[in-house]
Amino acid sequence: MSKDDNSSSLDSSSSDLQLSLSLTLSPYATTSSPSSISHSCSAALATAASQVVGWPPLGAYRMNIYNSQAKSPATEVFNSTVDNKRASNSTGVRKTADGGSDSSNIIFKEKGNLRSSLFVKVKMDGIPIGRKVDLGAHGSYETLAQTLEDMFDESATVLTHKVGSNGEDHGTEVGADGHSKLLHGSSDLVLTYEDKEGDWMLVGDVPWWMFLNSVRRLRIMRTPEANGLAPRLKEKNRRSKCKLI
Amino acid sequence: MECRRKKENQKSNSTFPDEVLERILGMLKSRKDKSTVSLVCKEWFNAERWSRRSVFIGNCYSVSPEILTRRFPNIRSVTLKGKPRFSDFNLVPANWGADIHSWLVVFAEKYPWLEELRLKRMTVTDESLEFLALKFPNFKALSLLSCDGFSTDGLASIATNCKNLTELDIQENGIEDKSGNWLSCFPDSFTSLEVLNFANLHNDVNFDALEKLVSRCKSLKTLKVNKSVTLEQLQRLIVHVPQLGELGTGSFSQELTSQQCSDLESALKNCKNLHTLSGLWVATAQYLPVLYSACTNLTFLNFSYAPLDSDGLTKLLVHCPKLQRLWVVDTVEDKGLEAVGSHCPLLEELRVFPADPFDEGIVHGVTESGFIAVSQGCPRLHYVLYFCRQMTNAAVATVVQNCPDFTHFRLCIMHPGQLDYLTQESMDEAFGAVVKTCTKLQRLAVSGYLTDLTFEYIGKYAKNLETLSVAFAGSSDWGMRCVLDGCPKLRKLEVRDCPFGNGALLSGLGKYESMRSLWMSDCNLTMNGVRLLAQEMPRLNVEVIKEESYETHQAKKVYVYRSVAGPRRDAPPFVLTL
């Protein structure tokens, strides 16, 4: 099974922080013509559109249609999806993610209540307010990392504004190869998750569909802490993989 | 009971015997009228009480089943709503409540002749559906909309046991679709069905069972099938029920021979009474023409899941001269909406849903241009739900100038805090124009970047407003105060992600008892402010949904509603009833 040397991770922010930013930047704005600063805030909010829980206000049934339409295989494709799942054990991250996506979708269709949410909580060390991300809206680690990366940019701005410059990187870009730099270890943050058994794992070590079936919540750790945990995490990974196989 | 009524009759000073008065009041249709006449005097109160056959309950926690059955002893039809509307958007945790079972237990004792049950956003289990099917021998009509908790096993119980069923309407539920075999549970002797809607189920159905059912139910007037039904199968169904008034086509996608195509067109042409058409989940443009001859009398097209393009919609609309309601997906684009403006002069209601609300990079969907085009061609438009990615103040002002009779205006600019994309100003003047011009406005949903000025406009002009939905808007408590002070008929206020704090909440102390409910999530409320509200207004139910990711002093999800039943008795641990 393929394994990244190191998983990068991202910050999260909440609409409260965004609103707080808005109030801080223009607390007395009452005119009908917002300043350029407000516009900047508006742009930040716009960037967050697809990450806000429950926005836009579309019913859960329709949202589930969107998720299933994006990935939904026909019944006769099920077998080939199983093949994909098996094949994914010996292929790279991208292929794994693709196979996992189809498989997880089938699993949810077969087992899940259609209204059950695929949202999980995301917390970043040092930020008291948590956030939620809809894993069902993603088909791979790449898009999840990108989403969290976008949140990271905003939260970094907020952090800087609130606590003064801490030397933290503000902007990051997806690398030329199409992979998120943060997912592949060019950040001082690490994305981890708690699985069904209560163990904290590094994101990216198992196929996407397996991740979807076991993830309870996400946590973005700072690298020093993660480094301190890394040996135990790796040991847990090894044991976990044995069990699964 | 009979004895008590006799005594009352003896004391009556009315010139009418009670029986006559009950008969007269029983003819009232509007539930508002019924409520009003019951306030006239005690005789009318009692007459209305005994003559009432159907009841609507807008919040299942505002009254208890025991109170209901004492007040109205002879109910045959119950309509019940449960969770806050924001549960549709995953803002209410699972297992929040709104379980129908406790109501059914009381109804089984007090309303054994119950015939109709219409539920929305309630939690319904298979056990409850089985209970319903077994305990109410006259049961006829079941409608489940946006409910959850049940599976096709529950539908099998209904099909097996409800001998008099006329209506089974299952829409947009969180249902566990185990298999399509529930259709074969209808007994061979069962023939009374008039409405069958399973469009939103996903599994293949037992088509033989469905065909037999449809062929023997001669009164069937509404049939909405799911995606698994092919065009050929659809044709086989339709030939049995040419009297259909409402048809849901399923996916409407299959390779057809020319003979099959001709057969389908002929079957559809034979449906002379067709007024409502929905479905086309996977519309194939080449087969749309078979619908044309069936469109002459259509008043409602529900293509809210049909990814039609502008050309497909345009060609279809040419054949729909009587259309009054149209629901589409934004794949029709502005050009499709121009066709709506050109061909649908009688249109009253338009809903445009996004095909992909999160696809921000692609330039598609509908804009202010399409919105204006519809308003120019459809002067009777009074209901709009419009999802778009950009909008301008000027466009909205033009729309309401063209169509001043809006009662429902719901505009969702999908990026929170979006400005007027041309002028880069707030969208305040857009909604100002709406409330100034549309004096009949009852429901308003706002979006885009808005300051308190929008709410000043609403408070000043929206005198008939009953429901307001607000998201990512406002500058201070003042905005919410303006609405609470200025809208005398306000019944529901839904607020999320706005900077309204305790001062705004407490400014409505004199208001909430005349409202059905208030929802505030991710605003600036604290537990102290909410507790103060609860202390000052003991007849309101004030609830906070606690989630572990928030600080303990914050009140991140607050639900306030009036209730004669007192605090909830079934609140889960994460709901604090103050």
Q: Which of A10-24, A215-229, B380-394 has the lowest mean pLDDT?
A: A10-24
Q: Spell out which residues of chain A touch residue B451, defining contact as CB-CB under 8 Å.
A: 29-32, 34
Is pLDDT larger for residue B277 or for residue A28?
B277
Q: Domain extents for chain B?
A: 15-52, 54-178, 501-577
CB B454 within 8 A of CB B417: no
Structure letter (DSSP) for residue A100: H
Alpha-carbon dihedral sign for residues B368, B374, B380, B386 = negative
Q: Which of A20-24, B347-351, B517-521, B541-545 has the lowest mean pLDDT?
A: A20-24
Is pLDDT larger for residue A35 or for residue B202?
B202
pLDDT of residue A195: 82
- Across the strands, what pairs with B329? B353
pLDDT of residue B275: 94
Q: What is the pLDDT of residues A63-85, one digit of tens each?
A: 877 766 554 433 333 333 333 33
CB B371 within 8 A of CB B389: no
Work out the pLDDT band at A216, boundaries 50, 70, 90. confident
State the Cα angle at B254 between B253 and B255, rounded to 5°: 140
CB B122 within 8 A of CB B80: yes
Closest-CA distance, A85 to chain B, in angstroms, reads 23
Closest-CA distance, A32 to chain B, in angstroms, reads 6
Task: Judge whether residue A7 has pLDDT over 80.
Answer: no
Give percent above pLDDT 70 in chain B.
96
Q: Which of A150-164, A175-189, B23-37 has the lowest mean pLDDT?
A: A150-164
- What does CATH list as the number for A119-158+181-222? 3.10.20.90
B520 in reach of chain A (CB within 8 A): no
Q: How far apart are CA B214 and CA B196, in angstroms?
A: 9
Q: What is the pLDDT of residues B423-479, one digit of tens each?
A: 999 999 999 999 999 999 999 999 999 999 999 999 999 999 999 999 999 999 999
Work out the pLDDT band at A186, boundaries 50, 70, 90. low
CB A230 within 8 A of CB A190: no
Contact A32 B426 (CB under 8 A): yes
Q: Which of A231-245, B29-43, B154-168, B417-431 has the lowest mean pLDDT?
A: A231-245
pLDDT of residue B435: 96
Q: How far apart are CA B344 and CA B278, in angstroms?
A: 17
Work out the pLDDT band at A235, boundaries 50, 70, 90. very low
Q: Spell out which residues of chain A touch residue B86, defining contact as CB-CB under 8 Å.
A: 54
* Mean local confidence (pLDDT), B323-342: 94
Q: How far apart are CA B128 and CA B139, in angstroms?
A: 14
pLDDT of residue A90: 32
pLDDT of residue B146: 95
* Mean local confidence (pLDDT), A53-61: 87
CB B457 within 8 A of CB A50: no
> Which segments within A9-135 are labelled E, that is strand?
119-124, 131-134
Rounded to 5 degrees, φ, ψ at B329 are -105, 155
pLDDT of residue A147: 80
Contact B174 A60 (CB under 8 A): yes
- What does CATH list as the number for B54-178? 3.80.10.10
Q: Which of A40-44, B65-69, B197-201 has the lowest mean pLDDT?
A: A40-44
Work out the pLDDT band at B30, boundaries 50, 70, 90. confident
Is pLDDT larger for residue A242 or for residue B561?
B561
CB B427 within 8 A of CB B450: yes
**Residues composing chain A:** 245
- CA closest to B428 among chain A residues: A32
Give percent above pLDDT 90 in chain A.
0
Task: Judge whether residue A230 has pLDDT over 50.
Answer: no
Work out the pLDDT band at A207, boundaries 50, 70, 90. confident
Find the CB nearest B90 among A34, A53, A130: A53
End-to-end CA distance of chain B: 39
pLDDT of residue A107: 35
Q: Spell out which residues of chain A touch residue B498, defining contact as CB-CB under 8 Å.
A: 19
* Mean local confidence (pLDDT), A180-189: 57
**Residues composing chain B:** 578
Tokens for A89, please give them: 């054990």
Task: Judge whether residue B555 has pLDDT over 70.
Answer: yes
Task: Judge whether residue B193 has pLDDT over 90.
Answer: yes
SS3 content of chain A, % helix, strand, coil (to 5): 50, 10, 35
Q: How far apart are CA B507 and CA B485, in angstroms?
A: 8
CA distance readout (Å), B158 to A42, B132, B134, B142:
51, 8, 8, 9
Q: How far apart are CA B496 and CA B403, in angstroms?
A: 29
Give percent above pLDDT 90 in chain B.
69
Task: Judge whether residue B21 has pLDDT over 90.
Answer: no
Work out the pLDDT band at A225, boundaries 50, 70, 90. low
Q: Ranked by mean pLDDT, which of A114-118, A179-183, B278-282, B484-488 comes out on top?
A: B484-488
Q: For chain A, what is the mean pLDDT?
A: 52
pLDDT of residue A194: 83
Among candidates B334, B180, B312, B191, which has minimal Cα distance to B252? B312
- Mind giving me the DSSP string for B449-462? S--HHHHHHHHHH-
Task: Judge whether residue B113 has pLDDT over 50.
Answer: yes
Tokens for B511, please give them: 């208001």
- What does CATH list as the number for B15-52? 1.20.1280.50
Q: State the count of interchain CB pairs (< 8 A) between A and B.
A: 148
Q: How far apart are CA B366 and CA B389, in angstroms?
A: 8
Q: Spell out which residues of chain A touch residue B87, defining contact as CB-CB under 8 Å.
A: 60
pLDDT of residue B13: 55
Q: For chain B, what is the mean pLDDT?
A: 90
Q: Which residues have CB under 8 Å from B85's CB, separation 6+? A: B121, B494, B519
Residues 144-163 of A with CB under 8 A from B: none
- Buried b / exposed e over B189-215, threshold 16 CB at 10 Å, is ebebbbbbbbbbbbbebbbebbebbbe
> Which segments within B37-151 are labelled E, that is strand?
54-57, 77-81, 116-120, 141-145, 148-151
Q: Spell out which residues of chain B touch residue A22, defining contact as CB-CB under 8 Å.
A: 417, 499
pLDDT of residue A205: 75
Residues 301-340 of B with CB under 8 A from A: 305
pLDDT of residue A69: 56
Q: What is the dihedral of CA A217, A222, A227, A233, to 10 degrees?
A: 0
Is pLDDT larger for residue B305 or for residue A181?
B305
B40: three-class secondary structure by DSSP: coil
Among candidates A99, A179, A103, A172, which has minimal Cα distance to A144? A179
Work out the pLDDT band at B530, boundaries 50, 70, 90. very high
Is pLDDT larger for residue B516 or for residue B275?
B275
Task: Judge whether residue B258 has pLDDT over 80.
Answer: yes
* Mean local confidence (pLDDT), B348-362: 81
Q: Which of A134-138, A156-160, B489-493 has the lowest mean pLDDT?
A: A156-160
Q: Domain extents for chain A?
A: 119-158+181-222
B90 in reach of chain A (CB within 8 A): yes
Q: How far from the centroid of its chain's Cα atoms is residue B407's Cα? A: 16
How many secondary structure helices (H) and strands (E) does chain B include?
21, 23
Helix (H) or strand (E) holding B371: helix B368-377
The Cβ of residue B271 has, within 10 Å, a number of other Cβ atoms equal to: 20
Q: What is the pLDDT of residues A85-137, one digit of tens each?
A: 333 333 232 222 333 333 333 333 333 333 245 678 787 777 676 767 878 77
pLDDT of residue A224: 59
Q: Which of A38-47, B307-316, B515-524 has the lowest mean pLDDT?
A: A38-47
Report the phi/psi class of residue B20: left, alpha or beta, with left for phi > 0 and alpha for psi in -120 to 50: alpha
